[in-house]
Structure 1
Amino acid sequence: MKKKKVLGYILTTGLISASLLGTTVPSFADSTTTPNGPWVQDEQNLSFESLMSNEQLEKKLIQIEKASNGRMVLEQFGASNDGYPLYVSKFGDNDPDKKRVLIYTQIHGNETLGTEAAVELMQKLAAGGQEAKNILDKVSVWFVPRINPDGTANLYEGKPFPTRYSHQTWNPEELGLPSGTNAPWYYNAEGSERGQNNEGKVVYGIPGFDLNRDFHPDYEFDVSEEISKDPAKVASILNERGTNNGSRASLVFSPETRALTKLVKELNPDVAIDLHHRGFNRLSEDDSRSVSIQLLAQFTTKPYRDPFSEKTYDLDPEVLALSKKVNAVAYESLQRGNSSYGAIQKYPTVNYPGSGLGAIQLNGTATMLIEIKGQTQTLGQKQNGMLKETAKVPVMAVLNSIADGSVENADTAVYDAIPEYALPVSPGGGHDH
């Protein structure tokens, strides 16, 4: 892939060449515990063959655009640290007279089925039909089907082994910071993924960021400017990271998060939906069904005060109410017609102003997190298909409700009554933490 440096950041010069489209490149999978970390069993046999590589995803997006008769426009809006293009599939523009929805997936490279579900949703809207027309007449929908292509393309001993993290090494001196300045708390210098060889497991890792902790609610925030003005102050903030664990907004060091922030600002969405993976849970002590998905409407629990601008960001009650209504629509859509969808919980309470949805919500956008259970190597293909439906069904229900206005009549109490996060199941069959 041809790359060039622009203003210190890696950008591609256009679409990947046709020769690369046919190249076999690793696909992705791996699983996560609750709420944040990877979960790969010690002697687990991983399989990635059925999932799309970066090149295969690009080829698929180009095919959908061509078949859409103008309903979808595919654009590159940035590039990853390794130079992979970041794509947005636009169904409609950012017309302020229409409702606007952003759907993004795979910000963690090893969380995969959201991308597969998003591609199938794009195909549905691109194909037309009355339901698609009803939605797109009233709503512009933008899909970002993979934010972390570097983690997706990760290899271990020459084989596909996608990772949660991006690929980006922390080098404070290169950024203009004092030597020895701590990396952000969401940087992993060693990696936490577990690979295997013929003799058994080995621990390995490629340095990178958890991209879903590298956002700031000020869309204009530029860490390079802050470093230029006062590198000692930036270093001091980083050196205080301690037990931060997300309660402070982040400094947007990654090209992927900078690009997504710019795209969010361009669209100014009414609703943003983020698709992830999580571990395994039982619904309750009285109901042992495996939870298919978890939903979450709220991403900050207290105001955030930016140490640079001294501006305070707080969650607008009306934005929270609409977020709950969106999640209520999603929940009720999964209670109808197929009982296998019905085991749903809330995701654990978080205070993450530096997460994607956290920063977006503090800017006035209603939000919905969908966390699909397990991962492809822990589930069979039949169950993977069912789990994609547990993502597609609620997203379509939300799009329809936004288009016809019925989301405004949804009952926030429905969301409040969703069973709380409970009873995580560890890889060994016990309870996770």
Structure 2
Amino acid sequence: MKKTMMTMAIAGALTLGATQVAPMQTEAVGNGPGYGGNETINTSILTSHSEMAAFLRKQEAKQKDMQLEVIGQSMKGRDLFLVKYMKNPDNPTILFLTQQHGNEALTTEGALDFIKSLGTGKMKGVTDNVNILIVPRLNPDGAAGDVNFSLDDYVASGDHHLTRYNANGVDLNRDHVTRIQPETKALHDNVLSAYDIDYMIDLHHQGPNSEVDGELVSGSILYPTTPNVSDDVLAGSKQLGAVVYDAISKKGWGHIGKYPGGSAETISRNGIAVEYGISTILFEMRGMADHEYPSYVLGQKSNGYLIKQTVTTLESTTRAIADGSIHSKDTSFWDDLPTQTSRQSEE
């Protein structure tokens, strides 16, 4: 394994293929509107799995550096996709993983925007010096609400709900040791074991009520916290987090805290770092797209900035690895980064 290693809120629903931003009142991003039962949560604005598949195939046809691979199928038979930019196997490689939890959807929307940007002049030349792997949705059944348990209590309107769990009711981000579920097995067998990966960012969403210094966070980050992680992998993880922190914090709409995560190696951030020697970061964006607990759901007027936060994260880390600047990142900020707390009791 190679190891060289607000205040304006952007609002509106970003849809695949065209970024649309609807105006809203200017305010700090962390204080953007929660759901609170005051609006309709419309999941039709999110990219369906068939729409995503069509988009990925279209981008593969347009982008000479992009390859699309099917790495397996979900429990309900949906294709699991891997997007690859691999011009030189000797280049450092980063993996972006989204939607292990089906109701954590906006990071996938951001990943699709990022893929589109890789085919434009904006990112010209970056793939000459870094290999990029993207799993844009590991849990398509949960994202489609096509599961073997009831979602009647979920918040979103209509029949299309999104749930944390896969079709079997299993949390995929607790299946990285036994790998019983087809989704996690495909990830490990056909991505993590098949490619020489140096870095991984695992993108999630959390509840909307976490705060740092009295201000609601736009997201929170964490490196591997298992005691079994090697020193060099931990150092690389902290550098990766420093890139993310610096890129988001310099935006007027970003406010980052430290995530209070555990040390279990069934969690990807920990288990993957130990088993494969990959430097990993968890990024938890604010709010969820659907849930049985209304307090976990964020109003959709906040979608735009969260998608933008994802794109910023993917672009900044890709560039830092490509130009080598990641190796000179100051990681001392971790010593002072406050661990987020909950502003109010979440159910």
CA distance in 2, matches of 1:389, 1:401: 18
- Amino acid across the alignment from 1:63: K
Deviations along 1:337-396, whole A, 9 cap, x unmatched? x3221x210111311211222221002111111111013464444421111111221221
TM-score normalised per structure 2: 0.80
Give the whole-Å Cα distance in 1 for the aligned partners of 2:234 and 2:262. 14
The one of 392, 395, 402 aligned to 2:311: 392
* Deviation, structure 1 residue 398: 1.1
1:219-274 deviation line (CA, Å, top 9, x unaligned)? xxxxxxxxxxxxxxxxxxxxxxxxxxxxxxxx111011110001111112100111
- State whether structure 2 residue 137 is matched by structure 1 residue 146: yes
Distance change (3 Å), C-alpha of 1:40 and 1:339: closer
Task: Tell me how far apart the structure 2 counterparts of residues 332 and 410 of structure 1 sit (CA, whole Å).
Answer: 9
- Contact kept, 8 Å, 1:276 with 1:369, in 2: the verdict is yes
Aligned partners of 2:208 and 2:298 also within 8 Å: no
Q: In structure 1, what is the Cα distance between the partners aligned to 2:135 and 2:192?
A: 11
> Which SS does the other structure have where 2:51 is aligned?
helix
State the Cα distance separating 1:289 from its structure 2 match.
2.2
Q: Evaluate the alpha carbon distance shift between residue 359 and residue 40 of structure 1 in structure 2; reply closer, same or farther with a 3 A threshold.
A: farther
Distance of 1:47 and 1:411 partners within structure 2: 41
Shift of 1:88: 0.5
| Partner residue, 2:102 | 109
* Residue type of the alignment partner of 1:317: D
Output the CA distance in 2 between the equivalents of 1:404 and 1:71: 19
- Contact 1:124–1:132, Cα closer than 8 Å, also in 2: no
What residue in structure 2 maps to residue 122 of structure 1?
115
Deviation of 1:126 after TM superposition, in Å, equals 2.0
Separation of aligned partners in 2, 1:143 and 1:357: 16
Moved over 6 A (4+): 39-44
CA RMSD in angstroms comes to 2.2
Pairs aligned (count)? 297
C-alpha separation between the residues in 2 aligned to 1:380 and 1:283? 17
Aligned ranges 1:402-417 → 2 under 5 Å: 402-417=321-336
> What letter corresponds to residue 277 of structure 2 in structure 1?
G
Q: Matches of 2:143 and 2:320 in 1, distance apart?
A: 33
User: How far is 1:40 from its partner?
Assistant: 9.0
AA of the residue aligned to 2:199: V
Residue in structure 1 matched with residue 231 of structure 2 by the alignment: 317
| Structure-to-structure mapping, 1:8-407, within 5 angstroms | 45-68=40-63, 70-92=64-86, 95-127=88-120, 129=121, 131-133=123-125, 135-154=126-145, 156=151, 159-168=159-168, 208-216=169-177, 251-262=178-189, 263-284=191-212, 287-300=213-226, 302=227, 314-336=228-250, 338-341=251-254, 343-362=255-274, 363-376=276-289, 378-407=297-326
Instruction: Report how far residue 282 of structure 1 moved.
Output: 4.9
Tell me the distance in 2 between the aligned counterparts of 1:324 and 1:290.
23
- The equivalent of 2:345 in structure 1 is 431
Match of 1:10 in 2: none
Q: Distance in 1 between matches of 2:241 and 2:284?
A: 12
Cα-to-partner distance string for 1:26-84 (whole Å, 9 max, x where unaligned): xxxxxxxxxxxxx997898432121011111111111111221x111111110001100
Identity %: 33
Larger Rg: 1
Any stretches of 5+ residues in structure 2 without a counterpart? 1-33, 153-157, 291-296
Q: Give the unaligned 5+ runs of structure 1.
A: 1-38, 169-207, 217-250, 303-313
Amino acid at match of 1:335: S
Task: Specify the SS of the correspondent of 1:325.
Answer: helix
**AA at the equivalent of 1:418:** L
**SS class of match (1:126):** coil
Summarize the Cα distance change of 1:339–1:130 in structure 2 as closer, same or farther, 3 Å threshold: closer
Q: Which has the higher contact order (CA 8 A, sep 6+)?
A: 2
For 2:104 and 2:86, the matched residues in 1 are separated by 27
